[in-house]
Amino acid sequence: MENMTFEKAMARLEEIVLGLEEGNLELEKTLNLFEEGLRLFRFCEEQLKGAEGRVMKLVQELDPGRDVSILEE
Amino acid sequence: MERKRVLSVSELTGHIKTVLEQERLLAGVWVRGEISGYKLYRQSGHAYFSLKDEGAVISCVMFRSRVRHLRFLPEDGMKVVARGYISVFEKNGRYQLYIEEMEPDGLGALFLQLRQLRDRLDREGLFALERKKTLPVFARRVGVVTSQDGAAFRDIVKVIRQRHPGAEVVIAHSAVQGAAAPAEISAAIRALNEYGQVDVLIVGRGGGSFEDLWAFNTEEVVRAVYESRIPVISAVGHEVDYSLCDLVADARAATPTQAAQMAVPDIEALGYQSMVLKERLQNAVSRNISRRWQELDQVRDRKVWSQPETLTRQRDEWLSFLRDRLVKSCLKRLDEQSYRLNSLARHLDALGPHQVLRRGYALVRKLEAGDLVNDVEKVRIEEELEIILKRGTMRVRVEAKEPEKNGKHDI
């Protein structure tokens, strides 16, 4: 997952989904892709949660009294 | 005899007009004279009059766009210096001076001198736009070169207090009119540059007559402004024309008040603006993140993740299909075998002794070993044998035997 970015991960996820939906891959390959896909999901989620956390932190630094719930629009 | 070409009046007038307009001296001429018969037409806004001296008179026209720039009200008998070009008004066949600028004489000399200085400094590049410095956006210290007793200074301080209470004003006092003014103004500009602790300079005074503003049109002041490392706002109150100080400065304000507005930002407006920007920034970031969540959710909703069994379903189906076929084909094979077995059994039955017995034949068997007897040589007289009929068996004793003759039975 080094050098992986959210965008790259998303692109790869799309690729994997298309491959899996096609459905004529070897079983071994199918399982590997499925596993990779789940890993990418986790990665993307962590990235987003991390980004949200950073934003909240910055917002609070900028404006300590601020209600951070603006992020949940 | 060759006949001379005859011109129409229009052709002749047109030719004269062309000749006059092509004459360089007449294309941009300064002339001194006295106004006579001045008439300003209300509707058109154009002014018509003559300029005269002891020996001659010339018709003059000043169009509305030029009249608007006059800094005095022309009157008959007034001595003036005017700049314009000569052309012909074809409708009445008169040549006229089309005046572009005009000043009262006396001032006229000063006026001419000023124009010449402007042209010279312009050629030198002092007014070039590309060397103008940008004003600071967040000036905290403003240097002011003006009279500390003037209304201009009070206006500047008032506006700066209003807009940016935190900003400081540094005054470098100078006379703004009189003989000492040019030297004092340039010295003040240089002093503030040496001091260096200001972000922007305002150089100027409130309005005044052409003569009052004279100091701001001197080469000395223009060069001092030009050499200033600190951006300069010129605030030489002058409605109509630019002073040379305006031309050389990095920015030009019509009044000291406007100069102060240009020098410092309005803190309140700035605060509001930055708040709005902050909101927009936050919203943009959170929208961005939300959109990505949505993207991720969309991929997650795809069947392969939400119902991963679909990944192997085809294989499952194939597998059960194969299993079914396998079982079916085995059963079929088994059926076939049992059928064959049955038929073989029937066959066997047909070949067996029972059918023969049914027809009245019998089997003879030894008692002890159970061997079937098919030869008299194998039995003794008096031996007991068992005879098997279709129905039941019986025991008999051999009384006599007779060997086979000719290998044939009698049956």
* pTM score: 0.46
List B89's β-bridge partners, or say none.
B94
Strand partners, B102: B82
CA dihedral sign, ordered B194, B195, B200, B206: negative
For residue B274, give the chain A residue with the closest CA.
A62
Q: In the β-sheet with B393-397, what is the strand arrangement from edge to edge?
A: B363-366, B384-388, B393-397
pLDDT single digits (tens) B16-67: 989 988 888 888 888 999 999 999 988 888 999 999 999 999 999 999 989 9
Q: Does A37 sit within 8 Å of B289, measured CB to CB?
A: no
- pLDDT digits over B304-344, tens only? 887 777 777 777 787 788 888 888 887 888 888 888 888 88
Query: In terms of CA atoms, which chain A residue is nearest residue B315?
Result: A27
Task: Write down the ipTM of this complex.
Answer: 0.72
- Measured torsion, CA atoms of residues B111, B116, B121, B127, in degrees rounded to the nearest 10: 50
CA distance A8 to chain B (A): 12
Structural contact between residues B54 and B79, judged by C-beta atoms closer than 8 angstroms: no
Q: In the predicted model, what is the mean pLDDT of residues A31-60?
A: 84
Q: Is A37's Cβ below 8 Å from some Cβ in B?
A: yes
Shortest Cα–Cα distance, A36 to chain B (Å) = 12
CATH architecture, domain defined by B9-105: Beta Barrel (2.40)
From the list B289, B302, B304, the residue facing A51 with the nearest CB is B289
Please state, in angstroms and as integers, the Cα–Cα distance from residue B242 to each residue in B188, B251, B289, following that order.
22, 12, 54
Q: What is the mean pLDDT of chain B?
A: 86
**Min distance B306 CA to chain A CA atoms (Å):** 11
Question: Per-residue DSSP letters for B19-57?
Answer: HHHH-HHHHSEEEEEEEEEEEE-TTT--EEEEEE-SS-E
B289·A27 Cβ contact <8 A: no
- Give φ, ψ of B207 to 5 degrees: -60, 175
**Distance between CA atoms of residues B318 and B351, nearest Å:** 49
HSE-up of A9 (CA within 13 Å, CB side)? Answer: 22
The number of C-beta contacts closer than 8 angstroms across A and B is 57
- In this complex, do A21 and B303 lie within 8 Å of one another by their Cβ atoms? yes
The CATH homologous superfamily for domain B115-265 is Succinyl-CoA synthetase domains (3.40.50.261)
CB spacing of A48 vs B299 below 8 angstroms: no
Chain B CB contacts of A44 below 8 Å: 292, 296
> Which of A53-57, B94-98, B217-221 has the lowest average pLDDT?
A53-57
Supply B34's token pair: 């006295």
Q: In chain A, whose CA is at the least distance from the CA of B312?
A: A27
* A41/B297 Cα distance (integer angstroms): 10
Report CA-CA distances (Å) from B74 to A26, B46, B270, B406.
101, 13, 48, 180
Min distance B72 CA to chain A CA atoms (Å)? 59
Residues B349-374: pLDDT tens digits? 776 777 777 888 888 888 877 788 88
Q: Where are the domains of chain B?
A: 9-105, 115-265, 357-397
Question: Which tokens sit at B59?
Answer: 């018709």
Sign of the alpha-carbon dihedral angle for B310, B314, B319, B325 = positive
Residue B205 CA to residue B12 CA, distance in Å, equals 55
